[in-house]
Structure 1
Amino acid sequence: MIMPDHARLMARYNRWQNESLYTAAASLDQTARLEDRGAFFRSIHETLAHILWADRIWLSRFDMCEKPTCAGHETLKLWADWEVLKADRMKMDDVIDKWADGFSESDLRDSLEWHSGAAGRILSKPVWLLVTHIFNHQTHHRGQVHAMLTAAGASPDDTDLFLMEGEA
């Protein structure tokens, strides 16, 4: 099981990495951000939108925000505009910080029950496992974005957790 400090650490890492990727992506024009680069969600913009969509799906299950109004492959319906995507990402990072700051050890030992669209059924899992999953999902897709940005000539920051400012 993870401890509350781990959730808070990963929330800080989430924000740090999002700031890096969005800054690097902003150095490209809209055409470059939307170019199909062969990733699962095709482009830099769409992959960033997918990460935000998934964060909103998961955090809605914890009653921290509203559930998105589209399917995961339709994120451009919500975030076709780059500036709106960036602004909503920043707001979601605030929500994630608040969510992570609120955990106690007993909260993390609890279970969450929800209907999984991916599995097509009701699931119940320990909160600590779901917190780990949420941060792992972000990291997975941010790695894809990092690779696409680098290939496009942008320069995102390092991703190593130990390089994050303020860590021991």
Structure 2
Amino acid sequence: MNRIEHIALMASYNQWMNRKLYDAAGTLSDAELGMDRNAFFGSILGTLNHLALGDTVWLKRFALHPAGYSVLAPLDAIATPTDLKQLAFADIRELGVRRAWLDQLIIAWVPTVQEADLDHRLHYHNMRGMAADKPFFSLLVHFFNHQTHHRGQATTLLTQAGVDVGDTDLLALID
């Protein structure tokens, strides 16, 4: 599997797992979703908000790549989050719409990434406004790893709330 194929697999896994998470979360009441569970982002809803905000920040950074990924242009209409702990979406249904939109955007964007793009160093500013310069492929690996990390937390919180998310293994998508 080459790097482009790996990114495509991770994008599919991201979409598949998010659908499973949101289906599972949809079985809980708004109060249960918003309940403080002493997690990094407080609640299940807080954790899912963090993922959507973090993905938005990273995708907007990826749009700065000299390859000029036009498929990411719709992100221009969305403000860049300034706080990844904010509860931007207080309603799981509204958040679910944004999540599905982001996932579809990722799925549409990944095939436009070329092998040569992966070797480029991306210049961006972190959340504290400090300049950064990192290898694009490594940033993509971080992007997908970050999603997996926090989905694991959300899965744990859902399990603790009595909801079974089901199989979460990437292996399920590998031929």
Give the structure-2-normalised TM-score. 0.88
SS in 1 for 2:85: helix
Partner of 1:101: 111
Match of 1:84 among 91, 94, 97: 94
Aligned-residue sequence identity (percent) comes to: 40
Partner of 1:136: 145
Partner of 2:127: 117
Distance 1:127 1:38 in 2: 34
Verify the 8 A CA contact 2:57 2:81 in the aligned structure 1.
Answer: no
List gaps (5 residues or longer) in structure 1. none
The Cα shift of 1:153 comes to 0.6
Write the deviation string for residues 100-157 of structure 1: whole angstroms up to 9, x where unpaired. Answer: 1211110111111001124x41001111000000000000000000000001011102
The Cα shift of 1:67 comes to 4.2
Partner amino acid, structure 2, of 1:82: I
Verify the 8 A CA contact 1:111 1:126 in the aligned structure 2.
Answer: yes
Partner of 1:159: 168
SS in 2 for 1:52: helix
Match of 1:73 among 82, 85, 97: 85
Distance 2:24 2:91 in 1: 17
Give the structure-1-normalised TM-score. 0.92
Verify the 8 A CA contact 2:4 2:113 in the aligned structure 1.
Answer: yes
Match of 1:148 among 152, 157, 161: 157
Partner amino acid, structure 2, of 1:14: N
Change (3 A) 1:69 1:163: closer
Partner of 2:67: none
Partner of 1:20: 20
Distance 1:28 1:107 in 2: 42
Distance 1:157 1:138 in 2: 17
The Cα shift of 1:38 comes to 1.0
List gaps (5 residues or longer) in structure 2. 64-71
